[in-house]
Structure 1
Amino acid sequence: MHQAWNAWGYVVIAAVLALPAAALVALLLAHVRSRRGHPAPRRTAVADVAVVAGTAPWIWMILTPGTLQLVHLVPLVDLADQITLMSPGAAFVQIAGNLLVFSALGAMLPVRSARFASLRAVAAVAAAASLTVEVLQYVLRLGRVSSVDDVILNAAGAVLAALVTRRWWARR
């Protein structure tokens, strides 16, 4: 865990310091949408800002150059290697981190728009976003591991987060 903090602590600190600005942006966005007659100005403003604020730090971490350029295209092999070859703490950080990457997106997308008010839609959007990030890691030659298992975990995390917020969007 100490190694993870040394590698990514600055991202966490920057994300926490950005929260007051994010709250202000949500308030201003809600105000503008309200004046324009938007049907749900506060809910959509909070959802939009939460998606950006909750996803941007993870994307920052993912697109930071590393030292190991690999591609894993066979599902669950990379995940099995993480579980069996890494220390339990490192495996936990890696798996939990992948589950959290698009969790804000999964939690807020159905709250934001009825078009995405299904777990299937959330999974599709999160998988597409995750695939885009994995392809960018490879194409930009960032020295990162591009893995189909990351796409699976990212989409699963978004779906789990959508389940957490389901009571806010399922009734619409």
Structure 2
Amino acid sequence: MGAAWRDHSTTIIVTLLVLPIAGVVAYRWRRRSRSRRLALAEVGLVCWTLPFIGMLFTPQATPRSVDLVPLHDLPSWVSGSPDTAIAQVVGNLMVLAGVGLFLPIRYRWAASLPRVLVLAAASAVLVETLQWVLAIGRVSSVDDVLINTAGAVLAAACSRRWWVTEKADPERQILPVP
């Protein structure tokens, strides 16, 4: 975790400061509107996801590599120091968690776990492919795809009660899923 903090501490601190401020601004901006929840979902989606994408595309001073064997990298993550295990597992779970958490809240078409799973898997594959193509010294791994996707699906399951639904009241206010 020390390496993650050393390489990305500024991004982490700025994100932790900007996310709540942006949420308050969006909430107050939409104060008179019935779409405060949607504004908060938009802010959360952008402010959560962009810092992780920035971290994933930070060049490393190592040669690029690819690991296409499922569950091959995961044991090395957890067998090392606890700091490395936490940084790798939790960090990879969080990469697309914002997408899983906020996308179904904001968009009706994304309001199902299978759709979140497909979208997250496709996004994770795209990220890993770009890391390899851009040759930025990252390991492109199937395990990253699996853990990133799992993080998005778990986050989506946690936000399910706030998803956009088909039903709307006469004033077009979106109701939460029961």
TM over 0.5, yes or no?
Answer: yes
1:106-133 deviations in Å (ceiling 9; x for gaps): 0111111221111111111111111111
User: Quick check: 1:81 aligned with 2:76?
Assistant: yes
Q: 1:168 to 1:132 in 2, by over 3 A?
A: same
User: Quick check: 1:126 aligned with 2:132?
Assistant: no
Larger helix percent:
1
Aligned counterparts of 1:44 and 1:141: Cα–Cα separation in 2: 37
Structure 2 counterparts to residues 14-163 of structure 1, below 5 A: 14-19=14-19, 20-21=21-22, 23-25=24-26, 27-28=28-29, 30=30, 34=33, 41-68=35-62, 69-84=64-79, 86-163=80-157
Aligned counterparts of 2:56 and 2:45: Cα–Cα separation in 1: 16
Normalization by structure 2: what TM-score?
0.82
Q: 1:27 to 1:136 in 2, by over 3 A?
A: farther
Aligned counterparts of 2:53 and 2:27: Cα–Cα separation in 1: 21
The one-letter code matched in structure 1 to 2:53 is I
Instruction: Count residues in correspondence.
Output: 164
Residue number in structure 1 paired with 2:177: 171
Maintained 8 Å contact 1:22/1:53: no
1:61-95 deviations in Å (ceiling 9; x for gaps): 100001231111111111122223x2222022101
Runs of 5+ unmatched residues, structure 1: 35-39
Runs of 5+ unmatched residues, structure 2: 164-175
- Name the % identity: 45
Maintained 8 Å contact 2:26/2:36: no
Structure 1 residue 47: Cα displacement: 0.9
User: Quick check: 1:4 aligned with 2:1?
Assistant: no
Maintained 8 Å contact 2:116/2:152: yes
Q: 1:27 to 1:137 in 2, by over 3 A?
A: farther
Q: What's the C-alpha RMSD, in Å, of the aligned pairs?
A: 2.1
The one-letter code matched in structure 1 to 2:149 is A
Aligned counterparts of 1:71 and 1:106: Cα–Cα separation in 2: 26
